[in-house]
């Protein structure tokens, strides 16, 4: 197998993270069992933001093991017939690693929830205090991103360390 040559660039991966609407968060539960959950998210300046219920397995996992993995992928074309050639599909993916924290302080939580909300609705008004108190906000500070683009049987690999 040929050695992978990574391009040290975050621009393409950040574009993919901003364009893909759903990702998969990889966690370890308190007993160390892997747990992966799909969720919508916002990407802002080296951080993944998401909101969730005030209680639940995700938050229990983060409290127990804040090191997480987060990945997104998209397929840009259908699988083409390959008749004995190596299978190929045009696609993009990004895998992020980092540390998650549950934001508890109300002023910071409000600012980040509004930032998250504006990832989807750039002109949105600030959220009410009742809505802010009614959900949890998690911030994942990324430590590394790796990405891959397959296009017309050519593969590009990216890496960025924060």
Give the pLDDT of residue 82: 63
Helix, coil or strand: residue 121: coil
Q: What's the CA gap between 112 and 119, in Å, rounded? A: 11
- Model pLDDT for residues 18-35, shown as the tens digit of each residue: 999 899 999 999 898 999
In the predicted structure, residue 102 carries a pLDDT above the cut 60: yes
Q: Flag whether 71 is in a domain.
A: yes
- Tally the domains of the chain: 1
161 part of a folded domain: no
- Look at the block and give the residue holding tokens 């990004």: 94
Q: Is residue 159 part of a domain?
A: no
Residue 162 placed within a domain: no
Beta bridge pairs of residue 158 = 7, 147
Determine, yes or no, domain membership for 1.
no
Q: How confident is the model at residue 153 (pLDDT cuts 50, 70, 90)?
A: confident
Looking at per-residue confidence, does 80 or 52 come out higher?
Answer: 52
Q: Is the pLDDT of residue 81 over 60?
A: yes
Share of the chain above pLDDT 90, in %: 80
Do the Cβ atoms of 40 and 55 come closer than 8 Å? no
Kindly tell me if the per-residue pLDDT of 137 is higher than 80. Answer: yes
Task: Give the domain range for residue 84.
Answer: 6-154
pLDDT, position 152? 83
| Residue 98, strand partner residues | 68, 142
| CATH number of the domain bearing residue 140 | 2.30.110.10
In a domain, 88, yes or no: yes
Lookup: tokens for 11:
């621009």
DSSP state of 32: S
Tell me, yes or no, whether 13 lies in a domain.
yes
- What is the C-alpha separation between 151 and 16, in angstroms, rounded? 14
- The pLDDT value recorded for residue 80 is 64
Residue 38 lies in a domain: yes
46/162 Cα distance (integer angstroms): 8
Statement: residue 93 has pLDDT above 80: yes
Please indicate whether residue 151 or residue 2 has the higher confidence score (pLDDT): 151
Count other Cβ atoms within 10 Å, centred on residue 36: 11
């Amino acid at each position: 197998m040929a050695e992978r040559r990574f391009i040290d660039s975050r621009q393409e991966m950040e574009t993919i993270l901003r364009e893909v609407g759903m990702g998969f968060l990889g966690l370890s539960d308190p007993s160390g069992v892997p747990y992966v959950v799909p969720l919508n998210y916002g990407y802002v300046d080296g951080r993944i933001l998401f909101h969730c219920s005030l209680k639940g397995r995700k938050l229990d996992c983060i409290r127990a093991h804040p090191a997480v993995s987060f990945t997104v992928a998209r397929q840009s074309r259908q699988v083409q017939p390959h008749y004995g050639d190596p299978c190929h599909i045009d696609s993009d993916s990004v895998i992020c690693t980092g540390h998650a924290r549950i934001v508890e302080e109300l002023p910071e939580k409000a600012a980040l929830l509004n930032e998250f909300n504006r990832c989807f609705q750039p002109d949105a008004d600030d959220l009410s205090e009742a809505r802010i108190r009614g959900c949890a906000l998690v911030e994942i500070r990324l430590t590394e991103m790796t990405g891959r683009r397959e296009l017309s049987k050519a593969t590009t690999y990216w890496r960025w360390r924060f």
